[in-house]
Amino acid sequence: MENGSLEEWLHQSINRNESDIVRNLSFFQRVNVAIDVAYALEYLHHQCETTIIHCDLKPNNILLDQEMVGHISDFGLAKILSADRLNYSTNQSSSIGLRGTIGYAPPEYGMGSELSTKGDVYSYGILLLKIFTGKRPTDDMFKEGLSIHNFVEAALPEQVIEITDPILLQERARQGTLKEFTLNDKHLQHLNSIFEIGLTCSAESPTERMDMSDVVSKLCSIRVKLLHPTRVHRERQALYIAQSTGT
């Protein structure tokens, strides 16, 4: 798509030329993309005729269109979840450890558990933590028992600034001016809430993870509190409703 992948926006290429424009996502854009992806997963899990499990959710598989709306791509590992769970074969169950990407794949897949929507929820939780910390789950700092999940968990709520992507702490205004935009108390409060959603989604136990419908509801509530209702916001919501109902 026109604006490439989410990964390209969160991490500049080391092969970037000096003449290339540095692209960064603002706080509001990250919230919007997180909601876009949550809506897409909620659709796959609950709105399709049969449940679809993506199995490989990660920033490289989130593409941004001309309007910076996030879209889930690459369904090469996706599975349709039969209404009859007994249709899963032994071979499917035993090969689950190969599905997904290191850092984003849920721990139960590595132990031979069946594919489930909760696996996608785990990957989404890690994705959400990455979007706002700016750190990959495979970062060199995450070793000897430290993971992006417990890195964030240990910092909340008092040290949220320390774990937030530095780009977000002092970003330039989206209008192209040199006016600085600094996260205020309201943003920090909502960042805490976003991180908490990410932590719940990436809980080790599948039963403790949120449903994507609840994720959508909570993130949309945060966005409403952050942004004043605008024509753009109303049109975006109308688009989601139309896509969900097929109208």
- Residue 211 catalytic? no
Query: Which of 124, 210, 219, 237 shows the shortest CA–CA distance to 245?
Result: 237
Residue 216 or 189, more confident? 216
pTM of the model: 0.82
Contact residues for 200 (Cβ-Cβ < 8 A; gap 6+)? 125, 208, 209, 210
Q: Find the range with the poorest average confidence among 50-64, 78-92, 221-235.
A: 78-92
CA 164 centroid distance within chain: 15
Q: Find the range with the poorest average confidence among 26-40, 42-56, 74-88, 185-199.
A: 74-88
pLDDT of residue 89: 35
Q: What is the mean pLDDT of residues 50-59?
A: 96
pLDDT of residue 171: 59
Q: Tell how strand 79-81 and strand 51-53 pair up.
A: antiparallel
- At 64, give phi and psi (nearest 5°): -110, 125
Going from N- to C-terminal start, the domains of the chain cover 24-245
In terms of Cβ atoms closer than 10 Å to its own Cβ (0-12, 13-18, 19+), residue 18 is: exposed
| The one catalytic residue among 20, 36, 56, 139 | 56
Report the share of the chain in percent with pLDDT over 70: 74
d(CA 199, CA 204): 10
Q: Could you give the residue ranges of the DSSP H alpha helices within 60-165?
A: 90-94, 117-133, 148-155, 160-163
Count CB-CB contacts under 10 A for residue 183. Answer: 17
pLDDT in tens, 91-133: 343 344 457 899 999 999 988 888 999 999 999 999 999 999 9
pLDDT of residue 99: 76
**CATH number assigned to the domain covering 24-245:** 1.10.510.10
